Chain A
Amino acid sequence: MTNSSRVLIIVPAWNEAGTVGDVVREIRGELPEADVLVVDDGATDDTARVARDAGATVASLPYNLGVGGAMRLGYRYARNAGYDVAVQIDADGQHDPRYVPKLVDGLQDASLVIGSRFAGEGGYRVSGPRHWSMIMLSLVLSRMAGCKLTDTTSGFRACDRTLIELFADWYPVEYLGDTIETLVRVIRLGHPVCQVPVAMRPRFAGTPSHSPAKSLVYLGRAFFALLLALTRR
Chain B
Amino acid sequence: MRLTALTALTALVLLGVIFELVRRRQLREKYAILWMSVGLVVLVLGFFPRLLNSLALLVGVVSGVSLVLFLGIIFLLVVCIHLSWEASRLEEKTRTLAEEIALIRAKLTEREPIE
A residues neighboring B (CB under 8 Å): 37, 39-40, 52, 57-63, 65, 69, 72-73, 76-77, 80, 173
A65 and B109 in contact (CB under 8 A), knowing A73-B103, A76-B103, A80-B103?
no
B98 contacts across to A, CB distance below 8 A: 61-63, 65, 69
Nearest Cβ on chain B to A171's Cβ, whole angstroms: 10
A77 contacts across to B, CB distance below 8 A: 103, 106
Interface presence of B86 (CB below 8 A): no
B112 contacts across to A, CB distance below 8 A: none
Nearest Cβ on chain A to B99's Cβ, whole angstroms: 4
Contact between chains at B99 and A72 (CB < 8 Å): yes
Contact between chains at A59 and B103 (CB < 8 Å): yes
Interface presence of B50 (CB below 8 A): no
Contact between chains at B106 and A57 (CB < 8 Å): yes
Contact between chains at A61 and B99 (CB < 8 Å): yes
B106 contacts across to A, CB distance below 8 A: 37, 57-60, 77
A37 contacts across to B, CB distance below 8 A: 106
Q: How many residues of B contact A (CB 8 A)?
A: 11
B110 contacts across to A, CB distance below 8 A: 57
Interface residues in B32-85 by Cβ distance below 8 A to A read none
**Complex formed: what's the CA distance from A80 to B110 in Å?**
14
Nearest Cβ on chain A to B72's Cβ, whole angstroms: 32
Contact between chains at B95 and A60 (CB < 8 Å): no
Interface presence of B101 (CB below 8 A): yes
Which of A52, A62, A80, A173 interacts with B102 by CB under 8 Å?
Answer: A62
Nearest Cβ on chain A to B108's Cβ, whole angstroms: 11
A76 contacts across to B, CB distance below 8 A: 99, 103
**Who on chain B is nearest to A64 by CB?**
B98
**Complex formed: what's the CA distance from A61 to B101 in Å?**
7
Q: Mark B82-107, 1 if CB is under 8 A from A, else 0.
A: 00000000001001001101110110
B residues neighboring A (CB under 8 Å): 92, 95, 98-99, 101-103, 105-106, 109-110
Write 5 A-B pairs (CB below 8 A) sorted by A numbering: A52-B109, A59-B106, A63-B98, A69-B95, A77-B106
B99 contacts across to A, CB distance below 8 A: 61, 65, 69, 72-73, 76
**Complex formed: what's the CA distance from A173 to B103 in Å?**
17
Nearest Cβ on chain A to B103's Cβ, whole angstroms: 6
A69 contacts across to B, CB distance below 8 A: 95, 98-99
**Who on chain B is nearest to A58 by CB?**
B106
**Who on chain B is nearest to A39 by CB?**
B102
A40 contacts across to B, CB distance below 8 A: 102
B92 contacts across to A, CB distance below 8 A: 173
A63 contacts across to B, CB distance below 8 A: 98
5 interchain residue pairs of minimum CB distance: A59-B106, A73-B99, A59-B102, A61-B102, A61-B98
**Complex formed: what's the CA distance from A232 to B109 in Å?**
39
Chain B CB within 10 A, most for which of A58, A59, A69: A59
**Complex formed: what's the CA distance from A58 to B105 in Å?**
9
Known: A59-B106, A60-B106, A80-B103. 12 other contacts (CB 8 A): A40-B102, A58-B106, A59-B103, A59-B105, A61-B98, A61-B102, A62-B101, A63-B98, A65-B95, A76-B99, A77-B103, A173-B92
